[in-house]
Each structure stands twice: as structure tokens, then as C-alpha cells.
Amino acid sequence: MPVRHRPMEPRDVGECAEIVAKHPVIGPRYGSRIKGLSGAWRRLLTCEPKSMIVFYADDGPRSPICFVGVSIFVTDDFVRELKAPPGFWMGPELVKRILRGDSPVLLESQFVEANSRGGLNLVVWEGCFRSGFETNSEILGHVMTTFIEDHAGYLLKEIISSQIESVERLRWALGAGTGPWNYVAGCYQKSFTMPLERIVEKPHLLGTTREMERTDPWSRIGSLFDYRPPRCGFSRSERRMLLAALQGETDEKLSRELDVSVPTIKKMWISVYRRIDDRLPELNPNRSEPEVEMTQRGKEKKRHLLNYLRKHPEELRPVSQKLLSKPPATDRPSGKHRSQRNVTGAQDSSPD
């Protein structure tokens, strides 16, 4: 069964919230807060520091959503609260805070700053199967691959998993590289000290940090801590165009998707190529003039650029060039692996 995914859209929110509400384990954890889940997720859709993805079995035009994945970038204060004993269920607490205007999700200016210096806390709010798909390993494998692709290229310092609903998922999460948080010792461990069946019955945390992965760099999820600062410094609009171009869109489709004219798209390509010639000259040894129409040589240039971006997702993440140019206050990750308030639509601080 082929599995596909796409970003959550406003029309999906009601169905996604219903999937969570009807889950026999996850739904009851929300209690009365489940009524506010769709409202909280609609607010979340308007901000950048998040990933909201729906997965579906591609067996027809009306394929149902079979898995919902929501992750957010949060403040240090919220992470400290999560780790304080005795713990709490994240889902209903996030609903409450977002709806009352006290969201722990980073404002976009904070998001840009943390991704440029210091690092980000990534929290998986929810990963929920629609009833009947729980044992589908193909979906779970696709979810994991998508999660890594979607979060690669960020300067991460900690990853916290969703709170697991079954022993099978718990074992899978441990195998992927997360460890349980010991509320008494105040640290992540490699295994639980009580039966797994008891863990899913009460609030718990699974996660890993950049420092942990430096000492044990072979977990799959740990590859997300591999990081190199971006070299290109693309603007917000250029990043949007390049992300769409990676999906194979033509200039005409890019124009419709970004709601700008085709001549504007062409000018953006010219700006991108000039930046590449200046900062990544090895990608374009012939240094042909960017103003010329897209000849065969121009198509090769585009192909080389998109191939580079697939391998270097950090170039498409929002950063502050001003902060990147300053000497780091702390050590950057060394790459040892195998390969506050309201949720708002505040603009990021990168140049446009």
C-alpha cells in the first residue's frame, strides 16, 4: 500500500482532531480539553515554528488520513516544566495555553534567533494513528523518514518525543534513539526502570539531546543533530521558491503557488544564481551570466543547485545572517553521525 503525505491544511484540522479524540488511549488523556484541540491547531497553522503533516494511504481520490503528526519548537521554560516531577500530559496542556494566549511555541523572531545561535527544542506534540492503521509498519516507516527529512538542517539541541500510547510504539521509539526521562535523577536514561505497560498509563517523556548524541552517535534520530551553518543566506521569499522548486514545479506553477508573476519568479532565480556565484562558486564552474534565458547550461545550473539543496537543508531554514557572522558563544555540533506568548504570524528577521 503506497503511503503519501502533505502539510496539514485548514480543511484537515477537524478530521485530524477527531482522529485524536477517537483514539482509545490518546483521546482520554485530553479530557475536556479535547474540545479545544481543533481551535488550537488552527491557530498553530498560522505560525512558522511547527510541522503539521497528514499521512494517507494512496488508494483513491478520497483516501482517509491514516496518521497525524504535529511537532513544535518551544521555549526553554516549557522544556523545564515538562521535565519537572511529577510530569503532565503535553496535549491538553498545550491546548489550554495556546487558547488562552500563553503559547510555549516560539515566536518567529525567537525561532530565527535560536536557529542561528544556541539551538532549538523540538517537541513532538502528537503522532496519532487512525483506528485500524496502528499496526501498519509501512506507515510508521514512512512517518519516521518524513520526520527526519522535515526537521533536518535545523540547529537542534533537544528532541522530545510524543507521549507514547502503546508498548509496541514505546519499544520502537527507544530503538529509534530516544531515552526515558528520569524525573528523580533529572536526566535521560537508556532504559526504563519499571514495566513498559505501566509507562504508557501516566505522563512520561522520551527524548535525546545534542550532547547525548555526541557520545553515542549512531541512532537514527540522532542524525538530526548533524549541522553545518548555511552559506548562501537566501531571503524568505527565495527559500519559499526553492522549497517549491524541489518538488519539481515549473516557473508557471511557482508563480501560481507563490502568488507572484512569472517575471518576478525569473528575477528571483537571477538573484539566487548571483548569490550562488558569490558564495558557492564550486557549484557553477562555468560562471555563466544569470541574466541569460534558461538554456541547456542554465538547466544544468538549476539541477546542480537543487541537488545541493537536497543534501544541505540548512540553506532553506530561517536564520539571521547577522547572528551567524558573530563568533559563536558555545560550540557548534560537530557532526559525528553517519551521514512566550500568542501563536502569531510574525515575520522572520531574515532579509527579503
pLDDT tens per residue, range 249-290: 888 999 998 899 999 999 999 999 998 888 888 877 665 554
Opening angle at CA 63, ends 168 and 122, nearest 5: 50
Q: What residue numbers bound the domain in which 28 lies?
A: 3-225
Does an H or E element contain 340, and which? none
Query: CA 154, CA 123: separation in Å to the nearest integer?
Result: 13
Percent above pLDDT 70 for the chain:
86
Give the sign of the dihedral formed by CA 219, CA 111, CA 82, CA 214.
positive
Measured distance CA(97)–CA(83) in Å, rounded: 17
Q: Is the pLDDT of residue 145 over 70?
A: yes
Query: Do 174 and 301 fall within a single domain?
Result: no
Q: pLDDT grade, residue 136 (50/70/90)?
A: confident
For residues 152 and 286, membership in a common domain is answered with: no
Judgement on whether residues 73 and 143 belong to the same structural domain of the protein: yes
Has residue 68 been placed in a domain?
yes
Q: Which helix (H) or strand (E) holds 29?
A: helix 26-30
Q: Under 8 Å CB-to-CB from 92, ≥6 apart: which residues? A: 29, 30, 31, 33, 34
Residue 323 belongs to some domain of the structure: no
Same structural domain, 103 and 139: yes
Residue 209 lies in a domain: yes
For the chain, the average pLDDT equals 86
Looking at the structure, do residues 13 and 88 belong to the same domain, yes or no?
A: yes
**Grid coordinates standing for 20?**
485524536
What's the domain count of the chain?
2
Cα–Cα distance between 8 and 16 in angstroms, integer?
9
For residue 186, give the CATH number of its domain: 3.40.630.30
* 311, containing H or E segment: helix 296-311
Residue 137: count of CB within 10 angstroms of its CB: 8
Same domain, 112 and 219: yes
> Is residue 325 domain-resident?
no
Q: Is residue 146 in a domain?
A: yes
Same domain, 15 and 162: yes
Cell of 142: 514512512
Averaged over 162-182, what is the pLDDT? 90
Residues 6+ apart with CB under 8 A from 220: 144, 148, 176, 177
Q: What is the pLDDT of residues 173-193, one digit of tens each?
A: 888 889 999 999 999 988 777
- From 177, 204, 225, give the residue that closes a domain: 225
- Does 334 fall in a domain? no
In a domain, 335, yes or no: no
What would the pLDDT profile of 293-325 be if each residue is shown by its tens digit? 445 556 788 888 999 999 999 999 999 878 777
Look at residues 172, 205, 225 and tell me which one is the last residue of a structural domain.
225
